Structure 1
Amino acid sequence: MTAFPFNTPIALCGELRAPRQMLADQTYDDHKSIHDDAMAADLGLRAGPIEGPTHFSLFDPLLVALWGPAWFETGCISAHYQTMVVEGEETRAFVQQPAAGARFTRIWAEKRDGTPVLTGTASVGAPAADDPPTEIAGRIARLRPSGPLVINRDLRVGQQGAGNPERVRMGFDQHMGGHYPFTLADKLKVITEPCAWYTPEGGPSSPWGRAIIPTEMVSVLLGSTIDQANFRGRGPAVGLFAGQQIRYLQGPLFVDHPYELEREIIALSESARTESVWMRTRVFDGVTRAPVAEMVLNGATLKASYEPYEREARALGRSV
């Protein structure tokens, strides 16, 4: 085949999809979350946004098209969330076509009108020393020292989850708690990119002979027991996901299989509007204890949602 003569990036593009809002009844610390329409309105938003990792499903078919089943075994998706999406809006995924044999690429998602939804990276295989940084790794490396934190002043880098190890599993009809008031079966009825490998009927025909957990639902599995970690800032306050990375080490993760989680705070930061806890969650097979995946989450809390923020900031010697 003749070598491609243009220096023009080519991207794979998915279809426009309309993700569903499934977190309207989500609760955190005994109050509604940002995904509730009334709570969102109080914060100046027009409706409760769809959770960021919902958009990860848009990328799974494109990345399997690039790298085959290895995507679910050693793939890594790393994203910074840029613009909230509400139910009824359409989104589509883009993946830059990597060079032949390359295992790292850029990804992004947009609304129908071109508004950016997320930007990030995707890769497959064990990371090498000369690989470019993932989206999340690059952002952590660029963090600047913050002033004294207000909401998160009781937390520290290196802090381990109080519940380590947390024991989790996800059956098709298993309710995942107050943070995620739906089941995997509920999600599969409305998931933007259906796949036989996710289902009870098609799972046995997957390359692994079992049904696998969709990438977006890995976030649900790992988030279902987050309260056990006791990484609590001052509150009540409203948080959101500002960025997220999921890496498969020896994947995929399987439906109705036991896993153990270990959590650690790896960075603390702030922006003009938020304070962030950057948390790494390591996932181990509950039978063999082999490391199978990990997630890094930028959990951001809105300063304006914490009523005494300005008063406590001044008490800590901060200008507001």
Structure 2
Amino acid sequence: MAIFDAPIEREGDTLTGPWRMPRQMLMAQAYDGHASIHDDSTAQGLGFKGGTIEGPTHFSQFDPLCHAIWGDEWFAHGCISAHYRSPVFEGEEVRAILTRQSDRRAAINMEKRDGTEVLKGTVSIGPDHPPTALDERITTLAPLDQPVLMADAAVGAKTGRIPVRMDLDQHMGDLYPFSLADKLERMTEPSEIYREIIPFEMVSVLVNSIAREQPFPVRGPSVGLFADQEIRMRRGPLKVGQPYEIEREIVALSGSRKTESMWVLSRVFVTGDNSPLAVMLLNTATLKPSYADYEADRSALYGDAADG
């Protein structure tokens, strides 16, 4: 029996999903005592036209395509690996496109009605995955030179294990002010199976909901956005109502003209087990202009050696 009702267009090795209008559910998100990039006024102050829809929201549109190829194995050993290219705003339509490259890997992208690319990357099936989009991307990163926002962070820094769970009606906190039940009413590709297993986009919520319990040092108040993200099932799926423990580690620091980025690898465990059930790699790019003391701190840290 089909678990998704999304119509899929097939042409050769390419599968294309329907146009969908993802919903904004993070307007009330707050962290470090201030609003986030998903708040209209905060986003507009940083040059966006409004609050952005969080990137992993779009992962759900790829689930029917991946399930059409790999069946339930997708939930047990699937991996989605994406570089976010353009934000999506409330009211915009997007569609998911998948092109098979081999039996175990496919290229993916998402586009808007006007052709704007929202994300690009890969999906694959394990447990031994072929190289993913972020496996390839992370090897090309330039080192972060003269960090300010990330001046106090270090590659290799790691948290202890933090307990977490996701019940169907559980409010997921200030970072995610909604429940899985709320999400199922609004997600682009709902399914009854998600009352038992946690969908890929909500794995991001599960992992990030505890990010402020043992936070890594980022100077602020400042505003960040997801730039790259990979969710990989090793022994999935993750279950609704199941207690887990999450360990987080900084695995890379990088930057651009406007941002400083922290790449964090999160491992999801069952208590007492040292073999992760799932892992998530997330690059959060923090916007330099969002930190009021950026130039003053840079001068204090590097003096005359600071870049112009």
TM-score range (shorter-chain normalised) is: over 0.9
2:144 and 2:260 in contact (8 A); partners too: no
Q: Deviation at 1:309?
A: 1.2
1:229 and 1:263 in contact (8 A); partners too: no
Q: Which runs of 4+ in 1 moved over 4 A?
A: 287-290
Structure 2 partner of 1:214: 199
Query: Secondary structure of the residue that 1:173 maps to in structure 2?
Result: coil
Structure 2 partner of 1:260: 245
| Letter matched to residue 62 of structure 1 | L
**1:123 pairs with 2:111:** no
1:168 to 164, 168, 178: 164
1:212 and 1:253 in contact (8 A); partners too: yes
Structure 2 partner of 1:204: none
Extract unaligned runs of 5+ from structure 1.
Answer: 1-7, 200-210
* Number of matched pairs: 295
In the alignment, the residues of structure 2 paired with residue 125 and residue 288 of structure 1 have an alpha-carbon distance, to the nearest angstrom, of: 20
| Letter matched to residue 33 of structure 1 | S
2:35 to 26, 32, 53: 32
| Letter matched to residue 141 of structure 1 | T
In the alignment, the residues of structure 2 paired with residue 108 and residue 117 of structure 1 have an alpha-carbon distance, to the nearest angstrom, of: 7
TM-score (norm 1): 0.89
Query: Secondary structure of the residue that 2:107 maps to in structure 1?
Result: strand
Structure 2 partner of 1:178: 174
Q: Deviation at 1:287?
A: 6.4
1:258 and 1:287 in contact (8 A); partners too: no
Structure 1 partner of 2:82: 79
**1:304 pairs with 2:292:** no
Distance 1:312 1:288, change over 3 A: closer
User: After superposition, what is the alpha-carbon deviation per residue over 1:4-23, rounded to whole angstroms, capped at 9, x for unaligned?
Assistant: xxxx9731000000000000
Q: Deviation at 1:229?
A: 2.6
2:220 and 2:291 in contact (8 A); partners too: yes
**1:235 pairs with 2:220:** yes
| Letter matched to residue 150 of structure 2 | N
Extract unaligned runs of 5+ from structure 2.
Answer: 1-10
Instruction: Spell out the pairing of 1:62-211 with structure 2 (5 A cutoff).
Output: 62-99=65-102, 102-127=103-128, 131=130, 133-161=131-159, 164-199=160-195, 211=196
Q: Deviation at 1:252?
A: 0.3
Query: Secondary structure of the residue that 1:291 maps to in structure 2?
Result: coil
Query: Secondary structure of the residue that 2:173 maps to in structure 1?
Result: coil
Query: Secondary structure of the residue that 2:182 maps to in structure 1?
Result: helix
Percent of paired sites with the same residue: 52
1:213 and 1:253 in contact (8 A); partners too: yes
1:9 and 1:97 in contact (8 A); partners too: no
1:147 and 1:318 in contact (8 A); partners too: no
| RMSD of equivalent CA atoms | 1.4
Q: Deviation at 1:255?
A: 0.4
* Greater mean deviation of Cα atoms: 258-267 or 119-128: 119-128
Structure 1 partner of 2:306: 318
TM-score (norm 2): 0.93
In the alignment, the residues of structure 2 paired with residue 45 and residue 245 of structure 1 have an alpha-carbon distance, to the nearest angstrom, of: 25
Query: Secondary structure of the residue that 1:197 maps to in structure 2?
Result: helix
Q: Deviation at 1:224?
A: 0.5
Q: Deviation at 1:97?
A: 2.7
User: After superposition, what is the alpha-carbon deviation per residue over 1:146-173, rounded to whole angstroms, capped at 9, x for unaligned?
Assistant: 2120010000000012xx1100000011
| Letter matched to residue 117 of structure 2 | P
Q: Deviation at 1:44?
A: 1.3
**1:283 pairs with 2:271:** no
2:54 to 51, 55, 66: 51
In the alignment, the residues of structure 2 paired with residue 286 and residue 114 of structure 1 have an alpha-carbon distance, to the nearest angstrom, of: 45
| Letter matched to residue 143 of structure 1 | L
